[in-house]
Amino acid sequence: MRVVMLGAPGSGKGTQAKQLVQTYGVTQLSTGDLLRAAVKAGTPIGQRAKAAMDAGKLVSDDIVLGLIEERVGGPDGLHDFILDGFPRNLAQAEALQTLLERLQLPLQAAILIDVSADELKRRIAGRRTCRDCGAIYNVYTAPSQREGVCDQCGGETYQRSDDNEATVAQRLATYEAETAPLVDYYRSRDLLHSIPGEQPVEAIFSALRGIADALD
Candidate list 18, 146, 160, 189, residue with the active-site label:
160
With vertex at residue 102, the alpha carbon angle to CA 100 and CA 106, rounded to the nearest 5 degrees, is: 35
Candidate list 2, 48, 123, 171, residue with the active-site label:
171
13 in active site:
yes
Candidate list 2, 13, 48, 128, residue with the active-site label:
13
171 in active site:
yes
127 in active site:
yes
102 in active site:
no
Candidate list 88, 121, 187, 209, residue with the active-site label:
88
Candidate list 48, 122, 127, 128, residue with the active-site label:
127
Which residues are catalytic, by number? 13, 88, 127, 160, 171
